[in-house]
């Protein structure tokens, strides 16, 4: 396994297992397989509603002596409903309880936007009101407290743009260690990447394979946007043949070779293995440039948080 060194000198495995939209039964198998293969970085979030399942598996591995806690790198995230100084602490405490851990290795603010009211089913209106005016600086101070209290080794942000990152940096005592955002061959966000590298913020790319199953998910929730399929791209296929690798392995190598961590999600044993087998080759500069030329920008992105109706469960989203 290859590591990236964060700005606080902590090492993070450059490849992790994503866990969004994985059923509990499949998730248990996926994490067990991943740990057996050699993964040590597990990514989750309060919004994924799977921290208890992950905690059960990790506890089994730690208690059995097959792995030590310090070998693991566990990331979880503060949900939008917790993006207020007076609310955030209860969410990290609940995550630690569910994960059965004394600390997480990385705690991220999942979104720069908040949810003013509690999401369903905890309110009677079944309505989620998105809040674009979160006091990020005040929230970040509470994030910094979690490091001082030993609840998080590192803290960071997710789905933030450059002005929002600057807002954090302008008042931070502890700089964000990471930005987790959508990054892949089709969604390269070069301005954000360059900015983070200039400020020593490590990037973690979610949907590094272009999220092959997202169109079916969108259809289920009535979202009309269609995401192009990165793994079907002919240039990616040509490069894969050249290196005797798969398109997925080329897509992942594209990120990690730029010191960008990747967290591909899979509950299939063969794909979990395949995704891990990216450390025995290097893309040459010509192929890197070919892949950089495939950037499709916003047209290939999953979308902003207002368009993600899964946040509201059965309610409706309003912005303010």
Is 273 inside any structural domain?
yes
Is 283 inside any structural domain?
yes
Is 52 inside any structural domain?
yes
Q: Which of 48, 107, 186, 218 is catalytic?
A: 48
Question: Any residues with CB less than 8 A from the CB of 62 and at least 6 apart, and which?
Answer: 68, 69
Is 222 inside any structural domain?
yes
DSSP assignment letter at 106? E
Is 298 inside any structural domain?
yes
Whole domain around residue 166: which residue ranges? 3-314
237 is in an annotated binding site: no
How, if at all, do strands 17-18 and 152-158 pair?
Answer: unpaired
CA distances from residue 25 to 245, 274, 313 in whole angstroms, order as listed: 30, 21, 21
Alpha helices (runs of H) in the chain, residue ranges in sequence order = 24-37, 51-64, 85-99, 136-148, 162-171, 190-198, 214-220, 234-243, 247-256, 269-276, 285-292
**What is the dihedral sign for C-alpha 173, 174, 175, 176?**
negative
Is 319 inside any structural domain?
no
Is 320 inside any structural domain?
no
Domain count, the chain: 1
Is 168 inside any structural domain?
yes
pLDDT in tens, the chain (320 residues): 899 999 999 999 999 999 998 888 899 999 999 999 999 999 999 999 999 999 999 999 999 999 999 999 999 999 999 999 999 999 999 999 999 999 999 999 999 999 987 655 455 555 678 889 999 999 999 999 999 999 999 999 999 999 999 999 999 999 999 999 999 999 999 999 999 999 999 999 999 999 766 666 666 766 666 788 999 999 999 999 999 999 999 999 999 999 999 999 999 999 999 999 999 999 999 999 999 999 999 888 876 554 444 444 433 334 43
What's 223's domain CATH number?
3.20.20.100
CA distances from residue 51 to 16, 25, 46, 179, 189 in whole angstroms, order as listed: 16, 13, 7, 21, 29
Question: Any residues with CB less than 8 A from the CB of 284 and at least 6 apart, and which?
Answer: none
**What is the dihedral sign for C-alpha 206, 134, 50, 127?**
negative
For residue 12, the surrounding DSSP H or E stretch is: strand 11-13
> Annotated catalytic, 243?
no
Give the global pTM. Answer: 0.92
DSSP bridge partners of 18: 43, 265
């Amino acid at each position: 396994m290859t590591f990236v060194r964060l700005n606080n000198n902590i090492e993070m495995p450059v490849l992790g297992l994503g866990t969004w939209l994985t059923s509990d039964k499949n998730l248990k198998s996926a994490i067990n397989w991943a740990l057996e293969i050699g993964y040590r970085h597990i990514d989750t979030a309060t919004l994924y509603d799977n921290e208890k399942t992950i905690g059960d598996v990790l506890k089994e591995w730690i208690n059995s002596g097959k792995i030590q806690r310090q070998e693991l790198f566990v990331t979880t995230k503060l949900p939008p409903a917790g993006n207020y100084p007076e609310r955030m602490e209860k969410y990290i405490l609940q995550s630690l309880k569910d994960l059965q851990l004394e600390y997480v290795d990385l705690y991220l603010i999942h979104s720069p936007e908040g949810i003013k009211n509690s999401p369903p089913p905890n309110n009677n209106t079944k309505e989620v009101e998105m809040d674009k005016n979160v006091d990020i600086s005040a929230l970040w101070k509470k994030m910094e407290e979690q490091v001082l209290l030993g609840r998080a080794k590192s803290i960071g942000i997710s789905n933030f743009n450059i002005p929002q990152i600057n807002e954090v940096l302008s008042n931070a005592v502890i700089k964000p260690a990471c930005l987790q955002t959508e990054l892949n061959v089709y969604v390269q966000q070069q301005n954000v990447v360059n900015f983070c590298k200039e400020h020593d913020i490590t990037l973690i790319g979610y949907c590094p394979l272009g999220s092959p199953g997202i169109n079916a998910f969108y259809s289920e929730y009535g979202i009309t946007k269609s995401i192009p399929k990165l793994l079907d791209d002919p240039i990616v296929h040509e490069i894969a043949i050249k290196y005797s690798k798969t398109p997925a392995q080329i897509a992942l190598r594209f990120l990690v070779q730029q010191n960008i961590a990747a967290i591909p999600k899979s509950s299939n044993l063969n794909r979990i293995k395949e995704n891990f087998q990216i450390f025995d080759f290097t893309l040459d500069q010509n192929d890197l440039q070919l892949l950089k030329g495939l950037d499709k920008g916003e047209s290939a992105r999953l979308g902003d948080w207002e368009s993600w109706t899964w946040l509201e469960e059965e309610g409706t989203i309003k912005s303010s």
